[in-house]
Amino acid sequence: MSALSFELNNKPDQRLDLSPLVPARLAGLNRKQVEALPINTTRTKLTVGDAFKVRGKDVESLHFVGTDERCDKIGAGLAGGEIVVEGDAGRLLGAQMKSGKIAVDGSVGVLAGASMGGGEVAVRRDAGDQVGGVAFGETFGMKGGFIFIGRDAGALVGERLRRGLIVVGGKAGDYAGGRMVAGTILLRGGAGRYAGYGNRRGSLIFAEKPRHILPTYADSGVMEFDYLRLLETWLREQGMRIRLGGRARRLMGDQAVLGKGEMLILR
């Protein structure tokens, strides 16, 4: 069965709420019913059929083609299945998703993977602020699963992160790991200022020494971490060859809060 695809016809004059386009909501609907689903975010009504050319059948495998930064909430609340985005995505991509996979060819807006509980989000290019951050109405950010950003990410990567892993291939903005509770953030291209601000028990792994280290992080020096080897092995199994090695310098903080978090600066 071919993937159910949604090709954007023309740029609509409002932001789109694409949260209804997930396997659980589409199961059992025929083409007409799918096309009749409302996706407007203003008082001007807009349906799926107005904005997209719909093809294919398999609701477990969804393709969005030609989407742009105003296509919000793609895969929000996803609970299984696979979504491929051939284009950009707006805010709240995969927010509060529980399982399944989302792969984006382009860039995504703010709050990608916000408060997600599980599953996988992979973005090939850039991401906006608050990757894995706190979705509206939630108290924690990402609570499980895996987010991969191929290039740069905005501010507050992993804000209030509770569990799970975020990998940023490029540079992250200010406050990376801000107020994180636990979980792991791997920053391959460094971060802006105030990384790990308010970190309680989380791990921030830097591939290279960050330019700014908060004074509330206490240096424990260099040692071996078998945990990094486990992480490297797992990443490799996911098809990502990221060398972490076993040695890192450990700074513990944020001492202004619980102080059981860490920055691991790879050697």
Partner 1 sequence: MPELKLKGVNIVETFAEAFPMVGTRVIITAPTAEWAMISASTMTGFATSVIACGAEAGIERILSKKETPDRRPGVAVLLFTMDVDKLQTQLRNRVGQCVLTSPGSACYAGLDSKKSLKLGSSLRFFGDGWQTSKVIGGRRYWRIPVMGGEFVCEEKTGLTKNAVGGGNLLVVGKSHHAVLAACTRAVKAMADLPDVITPFPGGIVRSGSKVGSKYAGQIASTNHAYAPGLKWHADSELPPSAEAVLEIVIDGLSADAIHEAMHAGIHAIARGGSREGITHITAGNYGGNLGPHHFHLKEIVG
Work out how close the CB of 29 gets to partner 1 at its nearest, in angstroms, rounded to a whole number.
32
- CB of 126 closer than 8 Å to CB of 107: yes
Smaller CB distance to partner 1: residue 164 or 178?
Answer: 164
Q: How many CA within 13 A on the CB side of residue 168?
A: 32
Q: Find the binding residues for partner 1 in span 164-203 (CB under 8 A).
A: 164-165, 182, 184, 201, 203
Beta bridge mates, 79 = 99
**φ and ψ of 97, to 5 deg:** -70, 155
Upstream peptide bond of 254 is cis (omega within 30 degrees of 0):
yes
Q: Which stretch binds partner 1 (CB under 8 A): 11-19, 26-34, 101-109, 228-236?
A: 228-236
Q: How many CA within 13 A on the CB side of residue 206?
A: 22
Work out how close the CB of 172 gets to partner 1 at its nearest, in angstroms, rounded to a whole number.
20
CB neighbours of residue 40 within 10 Å: 16
- For residues 90 and 88, give the distance between their C-alpha atoms in angstroms, rounded to a whole number: 7
- For residues 25 and 79, give the distance between their C-alpha atoms in angstroms, rounded to a whole number: 10
Smaller CB distance to partner 1: residue 72 or 262?
Answer: 262
Among 211, 234, 256, 267, binds partner 1 (CB under 8 A): 234
Smaller CB distance to partner 1: residue 13 or 226?
Answer: 226
Among 225, 254, 263, 264, binds partner 1 (CB under 8 A): 225
- For residues 167 and 18, give the distance between their C-alpha atoms in angstroms, rounded to a whole number: 25
Q: Find the binding residues for partner 1 in span 132-151 (CB under 8 A).
A: 144
User: Quick check: 224 binds partner 1 (CB under 8 A)?
Assistant: yes
**DSSP at 127:** B
Burial group, residue 59, by CB count within 10 angstroms (0-12, 13-18, 19+):
buried
Smaller CB distance to partner 1: residue 51 or 187?
Answer: 187
User: Quick check: 249 binds partner 1 (CB under 8 A)?
Assistant: no
Q: How many CA within 13 A on the CB side of residue 215?
A: 0
Among 57, 211, 229, 267, binds partner 1 (CB under 8 A): 229
Work out how close the CB of 170 gets to partner 1 at its nearest, in angstroms, rounded to a whole number.
23
Q: Which stretch binds partner 1 (CB under 8 A): 46-54, 83-91, 169-177, 219-227?
A: 219-227
Among 55, 98, 188, 260, binds partner 1 (CB under 8 A): 260
Q: Find the binding residues for partner 1 in span 197-216 (CB under 8 A).
A: 201, 203
Q: Kindly list the residues in this chain that would bind partner 1 in the complex (CB under 8 A).
A: 144, 163-165, 182, 184, 201, 203, 223-227, 229-234, 237, 260
